[in-house]
């Protein structure tokens, strides 16, 4: 099928590249000309493992191209995936102005029938507004528009594998024609008929994804309800961790046993600095906003958000209980990205933590394997180290803020000997308390006995 993808951020670029990988002819576009220039010259503007294989291959085989003018791409696709940003507004609601803008553009530029697919995360009932906008702005053209909602469940860092081997594909449609078109788009993924470019445990013989056809409103709700539930689960684990800390229990042991119950499941129960990124915090807020506007008291989600914000306070209190005064102290920070395997620092707990420590007068030296370039632009006060060892040198404490697996394998004896004080505050429970103690560190983590 011929497909246009509007917006080449984390979602749009992965969607466009993977749709091309499974055999479609895809044109991607963005109103950020610099992004398109990088893509056209063979670069990849974001760090997302797997894209470095998929994009060059699809371009070489002539199935993937980039256009600088979004309007030009409208004619290129029978289906148009909208992957533009829906950032948070000051009141917590989602800013849908980019969707409105794209709807107007599609409506005025389209010369043939289009299936317009909402991929961006949007609150329920956006599909209705999108359809209305297409009808109003396109009233002179007589072109037929169909709307579908196809929420993404891509995790940054594993997004290519998540697209090609999903657990489920949700499509919200209004009629059978749209359903059939969506099925045609995803058939290679449903039937697992493509040469997988990334080696994933689910490839090539893993289970086929569940194909779920719903109303558009349900599809939109599924996305917000899923991300909010994940956020709720993390905040719940963080509260249990705080309690475990007071009672002398070990959160690792507690969640391990809890997770063995299939009704609970073991993922998203890791305690520490809490959740960040451009999805969970904003989707949680937007869901609360939607519930309030709909007259539903969903205050348990507000509580999850409040708990998450307090994780930074909790971390700083822990640090202060060890070093007393923060002002004038040199602190090393390991990890800046909101989670490992990404360079994304949007709403990263690590960044909030660094801001807070700088405002309290600490001098910060930090290291992250991928996220330092992005951090430099927003935190010029930070000294960026070449590696973890340089970060720790002469520091009064080393703070672990992102659980990059490679941090586990560091030469901790070398680190201990280079620090002004061998103190570690592990905001991601990455290391073993017993091992760190044996190595001669003062070590504090979350929900585990000191
Ligand atoms: C999240 C969802 O997991 C995806 O399913 C969804 O498609 C995506 O948002 C989206 O809406 O686009 P992502 O933002 O990539 O994906 O990140 P997650 O892996 O969900 O992690 C979010 C945050 O929670 C990170 O800061 C992570 O460190 C934190 N986290 C995660 C915890 O603090 N504890 C956990 O147990 C798990």
Hey, which CATH number is domain 223-309, 1.10.620.20, 3.30.1330.10, 1.10.1040.10, 1.10.1740.10? 1.10.1040.10
Q: Rounded to the nearest whole angstrom, what is the distance from the C-alpha of residue 43 to the centroid of ligand 1?
A: 26
Looking at ligand 1, which residue's alpha carbon is closest to its atom 19? 155
User: How many CB atoms neighbour CB 417 within 10 A?
Assistant: 12
Per-residue pLDDT at 140: 84
Q: Rounded to the nearest whole angstrom, what is the distance from the C-alpha of residue 179 to the centroid of ligand 1?
A: 29
Collapsed DSSP state (helix, strand, coil) of residue 335: coil
What tokens does 345 get? Answer: 């620092």
Rounded Cα distance, 290 and 224, in Å = 10
Per-residue pLDDT at 126: 96
- Specify whether the CB–CB gap between 360 and 319 falls below 8 A: no
- Specify whether the CB–CB gap between 416 and 393 falls below 8 A: no
Please, is 377 exposed, middle or buried when counting C-beta atoms within 10 Å of its C-beta (0-12, 13-18, 19+)? Answer: exposed
Per-residue pLDDT at 245: 96
Rounded Cα distance, 65 and 39, in Å = 9
Looking at ligand 1, which residue's alpha carbon is closest to its atom 34? 270
What tokens does 292 get? Answer: 């309030």
Per-residue pLDDT at 225: 98
Per-residue pLDDT at 164: 95
Hey, which CATH number is domain 311-444, 3.40.50.720, 3.20.20.80, 3.40.640.10, 3.30.450.40? 3.40.50.720
Residues in contact with ligand 1 by the CB-under-6-Å rule are: 121, 152-156, 227, 230, 234, 268-270, 272, 274-277, 279-280, 338-339
Give the distance, in angstroms, between the CA of residue 57 and the centroid of all CA atoms in the same chain. 25
Extents of the domains making up the chain: 2-214, 223-309, 311-444
User: How many CB atoms neighbour CB 306 within 10 A?
Assistant: 11
Instruction: Walk across the sheet containing 363-367 and list its strands.
Output: 383-384, 363-367, 330-334, 397-400, 423-426, 442-444
Ligand 1 atom nearest to CA at 276? 26
* Global model pTM greater than 0.85: yes
Average pLDDT of adjacent 10-residue blocks, the chain of 450 residues = 97 98 97 95 94 96 94 92 96 95 96 97 96 93 94 96 96 98 97 80 80 98 98 98 97 98 98 97 96 96 98 98 97 98 96 98 98 97 98 98 97 98 98 97 95
Fold match between 2-214 and 311-444? yes
Rounded alpha-carbon distances, angstroms, from residue 57 to 20, 50, 134: 9, 11, 34
Class of CATH domain 2-214:
alpha beta
Q: Rounded to the nearest whole angstrom, what is the distance from the C-alpha of residue 161 to the centroid of ligand 1?
A: 15
């Amino acid at each position: 099928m011929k497909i246009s993808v509007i917006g080449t951020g984390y979602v749009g670029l992965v969607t466009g590249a993977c749709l091309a990988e499974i055999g479609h002819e895809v044109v991607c576009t963005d109103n950020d000309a610099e992004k398109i220039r990088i893509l056209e010259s063979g670069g990849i503007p974001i760090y997302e493992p797997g894209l470095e294989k998929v994009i060059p291959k699809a371009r070489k085989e002539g199935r993937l191209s980039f256009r600088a003018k979004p309007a030009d791409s409208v004619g290129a696709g029978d289906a148009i995936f909208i992957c533009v940003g829906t950032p948070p507004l000051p009141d917590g609601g989602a800013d849908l102005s980019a969707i409105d803008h794209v709807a107007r553009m599609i409506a005025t530029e389209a010369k043939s029938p289009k299936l317009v697919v909402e991929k961006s995360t949007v609150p329920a009932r956006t599909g209705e507004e999108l359809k209305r906008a297409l009808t109003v702005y396109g009233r002179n053209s007589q072109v037929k528009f169909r709307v579908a909602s196809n929420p993404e469940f891509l995790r940054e860092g594993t997004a290519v594998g998540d697209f090609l081997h999903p657990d489920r594909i949700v499509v919200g449609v209004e009629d059978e024609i749209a359903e059939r078109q969506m099925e045609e788009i995803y058939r290679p993924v449903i039937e697992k008929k493509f040469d997988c470019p990334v080696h994933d445990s689910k490839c090539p013989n893993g289970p086929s994804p569940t194909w779920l056809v719903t109303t558009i409103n349900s599809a939109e709700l599924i996305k917000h309800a899923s991300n909010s539930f994940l956020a709720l689960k993390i905040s719940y684990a963080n509260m249990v961790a705080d309690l475990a800390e007071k009672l002398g229990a070990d959160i690792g042991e507690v969640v391990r046993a809890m997770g063995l119950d299939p009704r609970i499941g073991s993922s998203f129960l890791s305690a520490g600095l809490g959740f960040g990124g451009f999805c969970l915090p904003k989707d949680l807020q937007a869901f609360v906003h939607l519930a309030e506007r709909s007259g539903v008291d969903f205050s348990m989600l507000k509580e999850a958000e409040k708990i998450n914000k307090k994780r930074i306070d909790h971390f700083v209190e822990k640090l202060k209980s060890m070093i007393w005064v923060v002002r004038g102290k040199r602190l090393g920070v390991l990890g800046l990205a909101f989670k490992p395997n990404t360079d994304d620092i949007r709403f990263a707990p690590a960044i909030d933590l660094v801001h807070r420590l700088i405002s309290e007068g600490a001098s910060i030296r930090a290291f992250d394997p991928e996220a330092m370039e992005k951090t430099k632009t927003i935190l010029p006060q930070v000294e960026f180290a070449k590696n973890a060892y340089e970060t720790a040198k002469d520091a009064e404490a080393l703070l672990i803020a992102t659980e990059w697996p490679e941090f586990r394998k560091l030469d901790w004896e070398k680190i201990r000997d280079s620090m002004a004080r061998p103190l570690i505050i592990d905001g991601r429970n990455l290391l073993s308390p017993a091992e760190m103690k044996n190595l001669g560190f003062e070590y504090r983590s979350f929900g585990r006995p000191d």
